[in-house]
Structure 1
Amino acid sequence: MTARIADQSAEQLPRPTRLSEVKGWFFTADQLLFDWFLAHQRDRAEPGDLLELGAYLGKSAIFLGARLRPGERFTVCDLFDSPAGDASNSREMRKSYATLTRRAFEANYLAFHDELPDIVQGLSSVVGDHVDEGSVRFAHIDASHLYEHVHGDILTVRELLTTHGVVVMDDYRAEHCPGVAAATWQAVANEGLRPICITGTKFYGTFGDPEPWQQALLEWIASRGDIWHEVQYVAGAPLVRLSAKGAAEPAHPVSRHAAGGARGVQRAAVRSPEAPTARPVPRRPAASRAALRRVAREVLPPVVTRALVRARRRARTH
């Protein structure tokens, strides 16, 4: 079942004015990596659509939707209010996602975009019936935490990805969902999944060649200077581990409910990693400059103070 028109009742739900107000777990390091991977694909004109399995209340979906290129398709698959189909999955849904509804997702998404993505409401195992094989360049798996379901999601996404497509696994190391870790590393050992990098919460991999991704990623990290990283080796293959504590988040889509926010799709300003925007150098306040001059007069030797005064006068005349 797909949908592109929202239920009118979604308009009655709380209206987020910024992405940080949408509930969910989407940390700075992963925002930066989502932004970088998608920009890298854009700059190389790599074809393909976007896919998310498991949307919760839409935080990462809103972010992904802002980076959708013209003519591309974004598919979101989630159970939302539908029955899970088996007892163990139903228990997990009640425990982890008791507040999850499709109306809430749609209200949040439409606060930032004019049009909903293609929504598949049901188990992630059915997404292959709605998305063509080899059509997805970037897939985010964040649905069930149960091993059997995650294992199936990885195998499904493997068929949907393009040759150079990227898959992101959420909660690959969280203690409350060991099934995700088991399925992820089993796919690495047996199913052809090859790691690119990891953060504290997400695993990034490909079923193609990870080396070009890793080389470009390391160059980007070196150009920024605010991301910590190391390269480890797992079964003889390199794996980039990184952390972005203190780094600035990338550009976010703008909510139509924000002060001065215009209606319409608000695309994030996705900059090419090769051409970062220069940051203006802040000027010291005039009061602060005057205080420093007073200190200089009181502390510095007279000969130094006179030289500074002459230099300042010459600067004013030029």
Structure 2
Amino acid sequence: MSQTSTSADTPTEGTAAEELPRPERFADVKGWFWPVDQMVFDWFLTRQREAGRHGDLLELGAYMGKSAIFLGTYLGEGEKFTVCDLFDSPAPDDPNSAEMGRSYSTLTRRAFEANYLSFHDELPTVVQAPTSVITTEVAPDSCRFVHVDASHLYEHVHGDIAAARELLHPDGIVAFDDFRAEHCPGVSAAVWGAVPTTGLKPIVITGSKLYGTWGDPAPMTEALLEWLATRTDVWHGVEEVAGLPLIRIKGPKAAAPAPPVSRHEPLPEPEPAPEPAPEPAAPAPSPATPPAVRSLPRRLARDLLPPILTRALRRTFR
């Protein structure tokens, strides 16, 4: 189920998304959403659905829409998906403006919409604004999964963590991107700082993301370990962090779940029809032995003359 697009700030132009090239495959959408994280997203979201847990989805920071497209495929009946991003709006402060200029100078809402509509019938609810406004756009305790991938600045990430805690169900899942990237120390400081100060409980980390909850992590940790024991495409280990087990996953060769299918994906080429087998050639007729051609005088001589004359005549003809 998809949602109608709205905006807290600047609406997109009516036909702008239709003017941009449409991706033919999920892999064509630009972004950093690795197969191992697609695998972990799928595990959490599928487990929630199978357990009958309903709730909305939220993404803070969308870039070109790769992870949003993936999240949108897990939207259930009556659930709402909200995406919050500045897109091409002015940043609220100078440091954030400089970051946007360095990292996302080509980012536009039009590109996001064109990509998303290549895989879904309708857009999510789009809040084109700083993520600091999200608690006025999404109801408290309404979300079951929140993906935080917006600013890399400590002050902004700190605010995004507080917003995620307010908007999540007690046992909801939050995923933080770039929590360990060398160029994003503010994300790392804010995320790990939330463990002792807010009660955030990390469950699993990959090379790019940390997944946690403010609820009881034990049932999810146990179930995830059982599932990982069946996977041969990823490595996993367990560390103790803040008195709780933390799962580590490495999966450079992880087999991602089936990707969303683009409505613009070319149809497979039909298999060429097999050429009909040549009909067997008719057997050549056996040459008939031509009957001996004999002249009438010879036949009369053989039948009427005495044998002695017949032999004489034969010798003469020869």
Structure-1-length-normalised TM-score: 0.80
Counterpart residue identity of residue 211, structure 2: Y
The answer to whether the aligner puts 1:248 opposite 2:252 as a matched pair is no
TM-superposition CA deviations, 1:7-57 (whole Å, max 9, x none):
312111111011111000000110000001000000000121100000000
Any conservation in 1 of the 2:72–2:81 contact (CA below 8 Å)?
yes
TM-superposition CA deviations, 1:239-258 (whole Å, max 9, x none):
00001222221011110110
Listed as ranges, the gaps of 5+ residues in structure 1 are: 262-318
SS at match of 1:224: coil
Identity %: 62
Q: Distance in 1 between matches of 2:78 and 2:25?
A: 26
Any conservation in 2 of the 1:135–1:162 contact (CA below 8 Å)?
yes
Shift of 1:236: 2.1
- 1:46-195 matches, within 5 Å, as 46-195=53-202
Shift of 1:222: 1.0
Q: Distance in 2 between matches of 1:51 and 1:120?
A: 11
Any conservation in 2 of the 1:7–1:103 contact (CA below 8 Å)?
no
Which residue of the partner structure matches residue 6 of structure 2? Answer: 2
Any conservation in 1 of the 2:152–2:187 contact (CA below 8 Å)?
yes
Q: Distance in 1 between matches of 2:252 and 2:196?
A: 31
Any conservation in 2 of the 1:173–1:181 contact (CA below 8 Å)?
yes
Shift of 1:132: 0.5
SS at match of 1:88: helix
Shift of 1:2: 2.4
Describe the shift of the 1:81–1:136 C-alpha distance in structure 2 as closer, same or farther (beyond 3 A).
Answer: same
Listed as ranges, the gaps of 5+ residues in structure 2 are: 269-318
SS at match of 1:204: strand
Counterpart residue identity of residue 113, structure 1: H
Any conservation in 1 of the 2:69–2:116 contact (CA below 8 Å)?
yes
The answer to whether the aligner puts 1:215 opposite 2:219 as a matched pair is no
SS at match of 1:223: coil
Any conservation in 2 of the 1:174–1:201 contact (CA below 8 Å)?
yes
One of 43, 48, 51 as aligned partner of 2:50: 43
Any conservation in 2 of the 1:168–1:204 contact (CA below 8 Å)?
yes
Shift of 1:5: 8.4
TM-superposition CA deviations, 1:165-210 (whole Å, max 9, x none):
0000000000101000000001012111100000000000000011
The answer to whether the aligner puts 1:259 opposite 2:266 as a matched pair is yes
Shift of 1:6: 7.2
Any conservation in 1 of the 2:84–2:127 contact (CA below 8 Å)?
yes
Q: Distance in 1 between matches of 2:47 and 2:237?
A: 21
Q: Distance in 2 between matches of 1:205 and 1:40?
A: 15
Q: Distance in 2 between matches of 1:7 and 1:243?
A: 43
CA root-mean-square deviation: 1.5
Q: Distance in 1 between matches of 2:110 and 2:260?
A: 20
The answer to whether the aligner puts 1:13 opposite 2:20 as a matched pair is yes
Counterpart residue identity of residue 201, structure 1: S
SS at match of 2:112: helix
TM-superposition CA deviations, 1:192-240 (whole Å, max 9, x none):
1100000000000000011111001001111223221000011222100
Q: Distance in 2 between matches of 1:89 and 1:5?
A: 22
Which residue of the partner structure matches residue 305 of structure 2? Answer: none
The answer to whether the aligner puts 1:202 opposite 2:206 as a matched pair is no
Any conservation in 1 of the 2:54–2:76 contact (CA below 8 Å)?
no
Q: Distance in 1 between matches of 2:158 and 2:16?
A: 36
Any conservation in 1 of the 2:234–2:252 contact (CA below 8 Å)?
yes
- Structure whose CA Rg is larger: 2
Any conservation in 2 of the 1:5–1:115 contact (CA below 8 Å)?
no
Which residue of the partner structure matches residue 28 of structure 1? Answer: 35
Counterpart residue identity of residue 97, structure 1: Y
